[in-house]
Each structure stands twice: as structure tokens, then as C-alpha cells.
Amino acid sequence: MTVGSNKFVISVGIDFGTSSSGCSYAYMDDAAVTVIDIPDRARNIKTPTQSLYRKNTKEFVCCGFKAVKQGNRHETGYDLITNVKMALNSRSKDPKSSKHSLETVDVIRDYFRNYYIQIMKYLKSKDPSLNDPSRFRYCLTVPNLYSDNARLIMRRAVIEAGIVKKDDICDQLLIINESEAAGLWCEHISPNLDLTHDKYFMVCDAGGYSVDVSVLQIDTSSGKSFREVIASSGSFCGSMCLDDCMERLLRNRLYLRDTSNKHIKRLMDEFVNTIKPEFDGTQNVQLTLPEELRLIFDPMAEIGEGKLYISVREMKEDVFDPIIRHVIHLIRDQFKKMRNKHIHVMFVTGGFGESPYLTHRIKEAFESRLDFLHFLREKDGAVRRGAALFGLNPEVIDQRILQRTYGFNSVIKDGFTKRNCFTIWARKGQPIRENMWIEGWTSWVRGKFDLSISIALYSYDGDEPVKMYKPQGAKLVAKFDTQFRIALKPGKDRANLNIFIRFCLGNIRVKVNIIDKTYTYPPQYYDNELLSPEQNLDSSGPHLHIDIR
């Protein structure tokens, strides 16, 4: 991998996982490209993504293992917040409990703030010269399916945590899809797999919440770079979905819908920690029943010697197969999109990727179509280490495929009239080169009144072609504070407003060019829970005044 700019000293990759988070770094000028893991205070490589707050308040107490320990002591004075990453993709306000007023972004911000202190402490202890955080580049990983808004919220959380300053955000904070990051690392450690020019490899990162799949093509014509040739895919069918299925099965078997959750939690802990990781699809399962439950069991349930037996058939049909079918479908879909192009290697990463039963099912379905099939252990941290690699040289992925269609809505106000104009800018499935600006323009007739133009970017997930009008279901991605007033001389001639847009993952920028002046705008953050898109367009932020006379 070619090492990039030396404006930064190190690249820090952060894998903000649903169950646990990890962090790695690499020096920009290290020709050997050594990636180093940053452990937490207790020397664990990954830290639970869980935070403790004082009950019904926004008062952050602690996070990580400490939070888990304290939160599970059944002390009543605290709220243990889990699965915050899931909440970010839904529009729910609160990750776990609805009693307090914590927003998802607040929880992520507090977690990052704490994490940042840990990172800084570790870096300084290892290398005292690493004392200027403005010279660290950060690369954050997100599920492939995260919406643009979820990516913007992650950015906002990082800024609010004080990790990067808003002004520096452009290239100091990068965002990369999880399977792409994992792919960079897998390729980096596999010089023996004959991954040469033009070859394709697939990565499936199967985590707790999401399963993400990407296919990358290698280009070694000048240095080494990677390109997406089909859109990556993902689904929220990670290992935690197995937990949901198991809990349903237990409640059905034990008629415990109304009984204490404490018992279910005990059984689920045993499932998550010992049964699930070992299940290989060949053996019946037995769980240890808590004392109190032995008296109130369902007479039909096979309970003996304090054990609850579940047949392998039930485990497969009710717990594993529905989820694993989903994972297989995701991978198959990528093969289908590749048509007859040969995929040389497939890598499987993430905690769920270690499941013996999933491993077996993936081998059964795909091994014969590949030259190599590799399963990496979760502790090898492909995602966080790949993120650190990406930060060394973001241009290493030089083409991506757009996941959705994008259009601009420009609102042009001219005296008493207001004209809404929706223009499609880029279409779903379109290849986007790194650092490429897509150009479009709008024009107006120079009139009597000053003009005010504001621009907002919308995205649309649907597959059908979108034409002139904003389609139903289009989502506001970002507005750009382009509310410039243009003082014009009356006249009949038309003038052009050229708009350029650049799509990088989670880093959409807009450049506006009027006559001979060019201005670049980062997106403005907005909270779509609080303001309607149209209200947002009428922002009262600092305006740009241009006089064209």
C-alpha cells in the first residue's frame, strides 16, 4: 500500500461495534505499514459498547467493562445503555429506555469522549512525541447500510466529543464501510493468496448487528488500489438476531411471557456465552434451568436433572436457519451481480463469522466457486485495522458504486415568487471515482429582484428511475448553507449557477460556482426529528452575498 500525505502523523482506525468497539493505529511514514492495536485501560483489545448513566438522567457515569459490571449488579440507580449503534439506524430517540431524554447522538458522543481519553493516554505512553491530536487522522467504520443521515450523526458525535474540530473535519475524519475496511486488512495480510492485478475478492463481515458484504477489484497498474464494481450490500442479520430467535423459543417453551426477565436473562447468558459460539448444527442443546424455574416448567418440555433440552432440529429451524439463510442470500446476491466474473478469494470476518454452523453453511454453498475461502478470527480485528490502513491513504479505494439516487432541490426566491427545482444528480448503481466532482447546473433569468438560492440534497433508495420531481420517500440528506443573495441588474439574459457535488462515504461536499467565483460547502447537520426538511431550507445561518452587476 502506498503511504499518503504527511500532514498527519498517524492514522487511527475506530471500529464502533454494536457489541464491542476496538481501535488500531499506524504511522503515516512507516514504509513497513505496521498496524498496532490500542487496548482499553484493563488491557482488553475490545471494549463493550455499553454506557452507564445515572437513572433517568443524561449524567454519564462510565462505559465499557466497568459499565457492564456496575450495570448488571441490579443496582437501581443506573441505566445501562446497550446497542446504541442499532438505534442510530432506526429513528428511535433512545437506544434502550424511553424514560430519560438521552438522544442517540449524546450516547455516542459520551462514549467517544471517554474512548478518546483512553486513546490519547495510550498513544502518549507508547510514544511521547504523539502529543498533538490535530495531527492524527481518524477513520470510523459504519455498516454498509447506514443512511447518509446516520453517517452524519456519527460525524457529529465525533465532533461533539472533541476528537476533531469542525473546521478540520474534511480530511481529518474519514468514514469507511465495515466490509471495505475488513477487505483492506484481509488483502494486506494475504500476500500468499495470489491477489494480483484485476482479480476480485469478496469480504463478508458478520458482526453482532449487521452482516456486510463487498467485492473489491485490485488494480496494481500504478501502486495498488481497489475498486468496487458492484454495490456492496448489507443487512441487519447479525449474531444478535440469533439471540432474539432464541429468546422467543425459550419464552414459548417455558411459557415465560409474564414471568421474571431475570430467569430469561440467565438462560440467554448461557446461550450467548457457551451454546451459540459452539453450535455446529449436529448436536442437541441443553441449558441449565434456574432453581425457581424447575417448578413452573411446561409439562411438555423435556426438563430433567435441572436441564432444558432443545433438539438440534429446533435449534436449526427456530434459531439458526432463518438468520443464516439471510446471510447466504446476501453473499449469493453479490455472486449474482458479478455475473460470470470469477471471485478469486472470499474472506469472512467478525464474531458471527466464527460460528461453526455458519462456517459450515458458507463452505457448503460457496467453497466450490472460489479459489480460496478464508475465515479470520474476530480478535484479529480486520475492521479496525483496515480502517487504520484506509486512513494512511484514502485514495486506495478509488471507485465506489452509489447505493442510492441523489437529487438536489434548489429553492430560488425572486421577490415574491419561490421556485422549487428538483434535479437528479447521480443515480443508484453509478460508479463514483474518488475525488470526482459531479457537475450540474441551474439557470435563471436576470430580473428585477435579488435572488436567494438555497440547496438541499435528497437521496432515494428505490430502484425505479426518478425523473423531474422529488419522489415520494426521498429523504433529506443535508442542506448546504448556500443561501446567497444575488443582487442582479435587470435584464433578459440568463445566468448559470454551476453546482458540483462530491460523494465520499459520509463526506458529501458541494461546490457552487457562479460566474467566476467558487465556494465550497460542507453539509449542515440537521435533526430530522425536530425540523421538517422545508423548515431546514429556510435556515438563518451565515449567508453569502454576491453582487453580480
Ligand X SMILES: Nc1ncnc2c1ncn2[C@@H]1O[C@H](COP(=O)(O)OP(=O)(O)OP(=O)(O)O)[C@@H](O)[C@H]1O
Q: Which residues bind Mg ion (CB under 5 A)?
A: 17, 207
235 is a contact residue toward ligand X (CB under 6 A) = no
Q: How far is the CB of 71 from Mg ion (least distance, A)?
A: 22
Cα 546 to Cα 222: distance, rounded to the nearest angstrom: 43
The interface region with ligand X, picked from 17-25, 181-189, 430-438, 464-472 by CB under 6 A, is: 17-25
- Residues near 141 by Cβ (< 8 Å), separated by ≥ 6? 13, 14, 15, 16, 175, 176, 177, 178, 181, 383, 384, 386, 387
For 108-170, give the DSSP string: HHHHHHHHHHHHHHHHHHH-TT---GGGEEEEEEE-TT--HHHHHHHHHHHHHTTSS-GGGHH
How many Cα neighbours within 13 Å face the side chain of 453? 23
Q: How far is the CB of 205 from ligand X (least distance, A)?
A: 7
How large is the greatest C-alpha to C-alpha distance in the chain, in angstroms?
A: 93
Chosen from Mg ion, ligand X, none, partner binding at 548 (C-beta under 5 to 8 Å by type):
none
Cα 245 to Cα 41: distance, rounded to the nearest angstrom: 34
Residue nearest to Mg ion (CB): 207
210 is a contact residue toward ligand X (CB under 6 A) = yes
The interface region with ligand X, picked from 18-26, 390-398, 399-407, 469-477 by CB under 6 A, is: 18-26
Residue nearest to ligand X (CB): 351
Output 106 or 212, the one with its CB closest to Mg ion. 212
Q: x/- contact string, 167-206, with ligand X (CB under 6 A)?
A: -----------x----------------------------
CB 410 within 8 A of CB 442: yes
Q: How far is the CB of 357 from ligand X (least distance, A)?
A: 8
CB 12 within 8 A of CB 388: yes
Q: How far is the CB of 136 from Mg ion (least distance, A)?
A: 22
207 is a contact residue toward ligand X (CB under 6 A) = yes
- Phi and psi for 407 in degrees, rounded to 5? -140, 155
Chosen from ligand X, Mg ion, none, partner binding at 272 (C-beta under 5 to 8 Å by type):
ligand X
Q: Say if residue 63 is exposed, middle or buried (CB neighbours under 10 Å; 0-12, 13-18, 19+).
A: buried
The interface region with ligand X, picked from 13-21, 196-204, 320-328, 399-407 by CB under 6 A, is: 13-21
386 is a contact residue toward ligand X (CB under 6 A) = no
Q: x/- contact string, 344-383, with ligand X (CB under 6 A)?
A: ------xxx-xx----------------------x-----
17 is a contact residue toward ligand X (CB under 6 A) = yes
272 is a contact residue toward ligand X (CB under 6 A) = yes
- Residues near 73 by Cβ (< 8 Å), separated by ≥ 6? none
Whose grid coordinates read 454495490? 231
Chosen from Mg ion, ligand X, none, partner binding at 238 (C-beta under 5 to 8 Å by type):
ligand X
Cα 26 to Cα 127: distance, rounded to the nearest angstrom: 12
- Phi and psi for 438 in degrees, rounded to 5? -95, 135
Candidate list 11, 20, 454, 483; residue touching ligand X; CB under 6 A: 20
Chosen from ligand X, Mg ion, none, partner binding at 19 (C-beta under 5 to 8 Å by type):
ligand X
Q: Which three cell numbers stand for residue 140?
A: 470510523
Cα 341 to Cα 176: distance, rounded to the nearest angstrom: 25
Output 114 or 210, the one with its CB closest to ligand X. 210
The interface region with ligand X, picked from 234-242, 424-432, 494-502, 509-517 by CB under 6 A, is: 234-242
Would the CA dihedral through 171, 177, 178, 181 be positive or negative?
A: negative
- The candidate with the shortest Cα–Cα distance to 468, out of 499, 428, 422, is 422
Binding residues for ligand X, total number by CB under 6 A: 22
Candidate list 179, 217, 239, 393; residue touching ligand X; CB under 6 A: 239
Output 303 or 331, the one with its CB closest to Mg ion. 331
For residue 121, the Cα-to-chain-centroid distance in whole angstroms is 26
The interface region with ligand X, picked from 63-71, 73-81, 235-243, 434-442 by CB under 6 A, is: 235-243
Question: In Å, what is the CA distance from 267 to each residue of 50, 104, 256, 510?
Answer: 21, 29, 12, 52
1 is a contact residue toward ligand X (CB under 6 A) = no
Q: How far is the CB of 178 from Mg ion (least distance, A)?
A: 6
Q: How far is the CB of 15 from Mg ion (least distance, A)?
A: 6
Candidate list 85, 344, 384, 385; residue touching ligand X; CB under 6 A: 85
Tell me if residue 332 falls in helix, strand or coil. Answer: helix
- Residues near 212 by Cβ (< 8 Å), separated by ≥ 6? 143, 144, 145, 177, 178, 179, 182, 204, 205, 232, 233, 234
Q: Which three cell numbers stand for residue 392?
A: 494512511
Q: How far is the CB of 22 from Mg ion (least distance, A)?
A: 9
277 is a contact residue toward ligand X (CB under 6 A) = yes
Q: Where does this chain bind ligand X (CB under 6 A)? A: 17-20, 85, 178, 207-210, 238-240, 272, 276-277, 350-352, 354-355, 378
